[in-house]
Each structure stands twice: as C-alpha cells, then as structure tokens.
Amino acid sequence: MSRFSKMAASLLAATSALAAPALAQDELTIGVVVKIGGIPWFNAMEQGIVSRADELGVNAFMVGPTSDDPALQVRAVEDLIARNVDVIGIVPNDAWVLEPVLERAREAGIVVISHEADNLVNRDVNFELVSSTDLGNAHANLFAEATGCEGSYAVFVGGLTVPAHNAWADAAVDHLRELCPNMRQAADRFGVAESVDDSRNTTLDLLRAHDDLAGIIAFGSQGPIGAARAVEERGVAGEVAVVGLFSAGQGQALVHRGSITGGYVWSPIEAGEAFVTLGAMLANGESLTDGAEIDGLGTVSYNDGLLFANMPLELSVDTVDGLAELGL
Amino acid sequence: MTTPDIAMKKSRVPADLIEIGAMFGLLVATVSFFTVMAPGFFSPGIFTSMAYQLPELGILTLAMLLPILSGGLNLAVTFTANVAGLVAAWILVQVTGDASAGIIIVAILAALATGALIGAAIGALVAYTGAHPILVSLGFMILLRGAGEWFTRGGDISGMPEFFRFVGHGTLLYVPVPLIIFIAAVALWVLVLHYTRLGFSIYMIGSNAKAALYSGIDVARVQITLYALSGLMSAVAGIVMLSRFNSVRIGHGESYLLIMILACFLAGANPFGGFGRVLPVALGLVSLQVISSGLNLMGVSQHFATATWGIFLILVMVIRAPFQQR
C-alpha cells in the first residue's frame, strides 16, 4: 500500500497546491503561439513582437513549438493560461484542435487574437494584413501573366487543414479559372509547403508526370523554395513558373536566377507588431471599428471579429533584396 | 537469467523502493528548482495546466510500457490511438442530432475494441512469425497511418457533441477528468503487472522468452494479450485526445512517440525487457511535465525545452548506471 500512498501524495501535491496565490502581474503580458519555432518567417515575427513591445512598454513574447503537431500548440496555450497572461495571440496549425483550449482561455478572461484563421470561433479578433481574396487574386494575375494561360498547374498549401492557405488557394484558383479558362489543375492540392524537401520532391514528381506543367502556385513559407530547387534541378527554370509567398532572404538568390517568378506576401514583422498593437488595445478596453486608422496597420476594415488591413508586399527582383535586408 | 525466480522476487522489493524513492526525489527536485527559478510556478494555475497536459503523453507511455517490459516495442501506439479516435469520432458524427449518453458509450466501446483488436493483431504476428516487434509494429504504424490519411483525406473529423468534451476538459470534484483517467490507468497497470499471473509472465518473457516457454508459460498467448492491452490503452489515449482536441487527425501526437519510449527507459525499464515498474514511470512523466511547463513559464525557447528533456533523460541514465549491474 505504501506505493499507492506515495503516488497519491505526489498527485495531491500536483493538483491541490491551490493555496499558493497566483503571481500578480502589473505589466500587460502578451504571449503569441506560432505554428513552429526556429524558421525564418516566425523568427521575423518574433522580431516584430519584441520591438513593438519595447515601444509600447508591455511584456510580449513568442512561443514557437518544436514541430507542427497541433497537440504542441494546445500545450503551449495551456501553459499561457496557467501563466495568467492578459492576451494570447495564436497562428493555428489546426483551428479545430485549438477551439476547446481557447474557449478555456477566454473563460479565464484572456483576450484571444488570431492570425491566418478567419473561421476560428473562440477568439476576440482575427486579423489579416491582406484579405485572402486580394492575395489569391494577386497571385493568379501574376501566374496568368507568367504562363500565358497555357498548360496545367498544381497548388501547394501548408496543410489541408490550414484555413488561410486554403482560402488563398481557393481565391487564386477561382480567379485563374476566370482569367484562363483553358488551364487545368494537374492534381489535388498538396499539403507540403511547410517543408522544402516535400515541396521539392512533389514538384519533381509533378514535372515527371505532367509534360504540360506550366507552373506551381505555392502557399506556405517553404513551397516556392522547394519548387524552385526542383525546377532548377530539372533545368526548366524560367519555363515553369513558380509563384507563391516565401521569405525574401531565403528566396533571394532563386528570384535573381529566375527560378522563382515572384509572389505577394505580407510582412511577418508587421504581423508580429500587429499582435502587440491589437493586444494592447483590446486589453485596455478599446474597441475596433470599421475604417479606423490603427498605428502600423493603416486604415482597416472590420466586421464581426474579422479585421483586414491592406498591406501586401510584392516579392520580385526589385523588392526582394530590400526585404531580405530587413531580415525577412 | 539463471537466478531462480524466488531469489529474484526477494531481491526486487527493496530495489523497487529505491527506484520509486529516487524518482520521487527527482520530482521533488524539479518542482523545487522551478519554484525558485520561475516566479509564479508554485500556483494552482500551473498545476491545473499540468494536470490537463500530462495524461495524453502519460497514457500513451503506459501503452508503450507493457511491450517494452516483454522485451519488445510497439511503435504503433500513437497511430493506434488516432485510429481508435477516428472510429469513435465517426460514430459520434453520424448522430450529431441527438447525442445521447448511449451513443457516447457505444463510440467509446467501439474505440476500445478497435485498439485492442489492432494490438492483438500485432501480438499475434509477433508471437507466430517470430519477427521482431520493432518490425511488426513499424509495419502497423505505417499501415495505420496510411489508412487513416486515406480515410480522412489528410484532414480531420471534428465537431464532437458538447457532452463529450467532458472527457478531456471537464472536472470531477475539482480534479480534471483526464487526470482521473490517467490515475485509473496507472492503477490498472499496477494491478495487472504486479498482482496477476499475466503480469508475472510478461516480466518472465522479457527476461528470457525461451526459459519462460520451457517453464510452461504460453508465450504466444501472453504476447497477444499484452499487445492487445497495449492497443486498448492506446485507444484510451485516443479517446482523451479526441475530446481534448475536439477533433481527430491521424497525425495528432506524432511528436510524442520517441518521448514515450524514452520516458519508459527513464524510469528504469530495461531496453532488453524484464525490468521496470509502473510507478517510477508515472513519477518520471510528472517530472518531464514539470520541466516542460516550468521552462514555458520562464519563457525559454521550446527547442531548448526539448533539449532539456534530453539532458534530463541522459542524466538519469548516467546516475542509474552504477546501480544497474544486475
């Protein structure tokens, strides 16, 4: 029986240490959970979070899980609730998985701000620096111009359950269908674009399987990089269009060599800043209104918890060096 | 293992106490460390958070423990869990209209049966083909993953009935339900391993399968049963994850697999089978959770937190080494 009592004692210690008071926090604290830590995009976002926090005099930090397993994001949010932060920012890998834990966060009185997840229910506001339709259309225009509306194409997304990527892909495919009625999609969407290797392998397979492949539209930060490498390996750089959003620093050389055609993006630094700006506003009880002018976001459109700025950034031979210098 | 059974049994009792004492000491040490280092660590919020997080990894680790004790390995546990979760989710989604308690029980039973069946199939292959469990379970892991991806088209089944959330997010007398399930699972494993003939047979097979066979143990039957139990426990984890995440996707918890194996070894389970106890494993898991939550509270990078788990596991094994000359 002594084993049982020891076990019971340890678990009691773990669950019923309810007497210790939670640490009082005078400083406004904002924790932002991103998809995965240690990749350039989210390193840049962290830069934005930290610098904006310094400007506003709040305590803001980023939590980057070690893999894109959604279970790790749930754990990170749980620890933020325990830490008693004022605002939780979230860039979900899988919106459904996070609903219950975000519901608990809001019950605990925490403001929840999401990014790249407009269908998330348990949040106060979701913000995008550019609307999915605008972003999808911009890519479709560029793609139509680059391919001359001939051949087939494939679409990469970060994952089939990543809401924003699929919304852009929907918009791009719809718009492309209007622009180029003769083009066809070679295969179903691929959820490979957070991995350079998977994007490269998939592109190699597609090039082998489809003689008329005119190009790849890739959403997800590693997609164009992998696709461009595959295109270079097969010696068709410039002939097969690679359009999508990527980190400028990572894709700089590929753009100059012509293997990445171009794309549109928004700045993760500005997104990081927006988390802190909006977090501070909401935590201080300010409300968001349509047409408002917000510092760092410009004039925004706002409707029922969805906030859109209009700040696309063009990625092209002309802009990519400047953006790379900014650390993107 | 040439030592007679009786002698082994006698010498094991104090060793057990040392083991449990050591793991408990380690737990106290980690808790004290973070109480000093991370302001606000010793608070109800943190312990509640840990109580919700510990069970998924904990129950999966228990599922891994039985095969390891028998000298095998079950690499398919996470995917068994998710396939079982898929079965439950599929049943629950069929009747979203009126989700009565009856349907939820049916869904849970179906999930448990699925897990046990997959486990039994792995056990039967291990027992009758003589192939190494790593190969068999690796095959099943790939099979289940592929089948699950195909069935869900890489997406997820989501939108469980409101009542079902109780399993993963509810509390009973202020104790989170997942924690209660975890404690019950630990108790069940203690009972099976230390108080039944099956448990004894598992240790004996792990020590020396051939000797166990010649001493009259039905090795094949024990192996099928123990892998079925492992599958059953995976299914329990699958149900908890389904409720916690409000959805099931074949890849949920994928990142836990290696951590589970290491957590078993952390608590003194011998990679070659035959040794290891349930309570040190449970205490070791709590320590790992304390480290993870504590470092999160300190705002340390998640990558560093993972590295710290590695350091912790290595450290424990180094400290243990001199005592393991059995």
- pLDDT band at A250, cuts 50/70/90? confident
Contacts of B48 in chain A (CB under 8 A): 15, 82
Identify which has the larger pLDDT, A54 or B160. Answer: A54
Instruction: Note the pLDDT of residue B96.
Output: 60
> Å from A159 to nearest chain B CA?
9
Q: Percentage of chain A surpassing pLDDT 90?
A: 42
How far CA B54 is from CA of A104, B47, B177, B179, in Å, comes to: 17, 10, 12, 8
Task: Provide the token pair at B22.
Answer: 């050591």
- Strand segments (E) across chain A: 29-33, 59-63, 87-90, 111-115, 125-128, 152-156, 184-185, 213-218, 241-244, 263-265, 293-294, 298-299, 301-303, 306-308, 313-315
Q: Is the pLDDT of residue A231 over 80?
A: yes
Residue A171 has pLDDT above 70, yes or no: yes
Shortest CB distance from A69 goes to which of B20, B255, B303? B255
Rounded to whole angstroms, the Cα distance separating B304 from A297 reads 33
- Whether A6 shows a pLDDT value over 70: the answer reads no
Chain B residue closest in CA terms to A80: B297
Whether A213 shows a pLDDT value over 70: the answer reads: yes
Confidence class for position A13, pLDDT limits 50, 70, 90:
very low
The C-alpha of B126 sits at a distance from chain A's nearest C-alpha, in angstroms, of 30
pLDDT of residue A287: 86
pLDDT of the residue at A326:
67
Residue B162: closest CA among chain A residues belongs to which residue?
Answer: A100
- Distances from the Cα of A300 to the Cα of A87, A267, A289, B306, angstroms: 21, 16, 8, 40
Q: Which residue has the higher pLDDT, B55 or B313?
A: B55
Residues B67-71 have a mean pLDDT of 88
* CA B91 – CA B199 distance, rounded (Å): 34
Write out the two tokens for A260: 């990445």
* Residue A144 token pair: 């139509």
Question: Which candidate, A44, A47, A93, places its Cα nearest to that of A67?
Answer: A93
Band (pLDDT 50/70/90 cuts) for residue B324 is low
Mean predicted confidence (pLDDT) in A229-241 = 91
Q: What is the DSSP string of A302-313?
A: EETTEEE----E
Q: What is the pLDDT of residues A264-308, one digit of tens each?
A: 988 888 899 999 999 999 998 888 888 888 888 888 888 888 899
pLDDT band at A67 (very low <50, low <70, confident <90, very high): confident
Determine whether the interchain pair A15/B252 forms a contact, defined as Cβ–Cβ distance below 8 Å.
no
Q: Is pLDDT larger for residue A261 or for residue B166? A: A261
Pick one of 3.40.50.880, 3.40.50.2300, 3.20.80.10, 3.50.50.60 as the CATH number of A27-130+267-311. Answer: 3.40.50.2300
Whole-number pLDDT of residue B46: 80
pLDDT (0 to 100) of residue A321: 87
| CATH number for domain B21-321, candidates 1.10.3470, 1.10.287, 1.10.8, 2.60.40 | 1.10.3470
Q: What pLDDT score was predicted for residue A15?
A: 41
Q: Please tell me if residue A74 touches chain B, with a CB cutoff of 8 Å.
A: yes
- Closest partner residue to B179 among A13, A15, A82, by Cβ? A15
Q: Which of B20, B254, B297 sits opposite A83 (nearest CB)?
A: B297
List chain A residues with CB under 8 Å of B59.
none
pLDDT of residue B121: 94
Residue B276, pLDDT above cutoff 70: yes
Best of A2, A94, A102 to mutate (most B CBs within 10 Å, chain B): A94
Cα dihedral sign, B239-B244-B248-B254? negative
Q: Is B64 exposed, middle or buried (0-12, 13-18, 19+ CB in 10 A)?
A: buried
Q: Which residue of B has its CA nearest to A70?
A: B252
Question: What percentage of residues in chain B have a pLDDT greater than 90?
Answer: 23
Q: What's chain B's Rg over C-alpha atoms?
A: 20
Whole-number pLDDT of residue B97: 58
pLDDT at residue B14, as a whole number: 64
Note the pLDDT of residue A327.
67
Structural domain spans, chain B: 21-321
pTM above 0.90, yes or no: no
Residue with the larger pLDDT of the pair A143 and A94: A143
- Listed by number, the residues of chain A in 93-122 with a beta carbon closer than 8 Å to a beta carbon of chain B are 94, 96-97, 99-101, 104
CATH code matching the domain that covers A132-265, chosen among 3.40.50.2300, 3.40.50.10190, 3.40.50.300, 2.70.170.10? 3.40.50.2300
Residue A221 confidence (pLDDT) above 90: no
Q: CB burial class (10 A; 0-12, 13-18, 19+) of residue A21?
A: exposed
Question: A-B interface: how many C-beta pairs under 8 angstroms?
Answer: 152
Confidence of residue B118 (pLDDT cuts 50, 70, 90): very high
Residue B72 binned pLDDT confidence (cut-offs 50, 70, 90): confident
Does B38 have pLDDT greater than 80? no
Quick one: pLDDT at residue A16?
A: 38
What is the pLDDT of chain B when averaged over all its residues?
A: 83
Query: A22 to chain B: which residues are within 8 Å by CB?
Result: 40, 43-45
Identify the residue among B53, B302, B303 best suited for mutation to test binding to A, counting A beta carbons within 10 A and taking the highest. B302
Query: Is A193 in CB contact (< 8 Å) with chain B?
Result: no
pLDDT at A255: 92
The token duo for B16 is: 């057990």
Residue-range domain boundaries for chain A: 27-130+267-311, 132-265
Average pLDDT over residues B308-324: 78
Which residues from chain A sit within 8 angstroms of residue B240, using beta carbons? none
The average confidence (pLDDT) of chain A is: 85
Q: Is the pLDDT of residue B18 over 80?
A: no
- Check CB contact under 8 Å for B40 and A22: yes
Distance from CA of A22 to the nearest CA of B (A): 5
CA distance A40 to chain B (A): 15
- Write out residues 209-268 of A within 8 Å (CB-CB) of B: none
Chain B interface includes A76 (CB < 8 A): yes
**pLDDT value at position B15?**
67
Angstrom distance (rounded) from CA A226 to CA A200 = 4
Contacts of B175 in chain A (CB under 8 A): 15
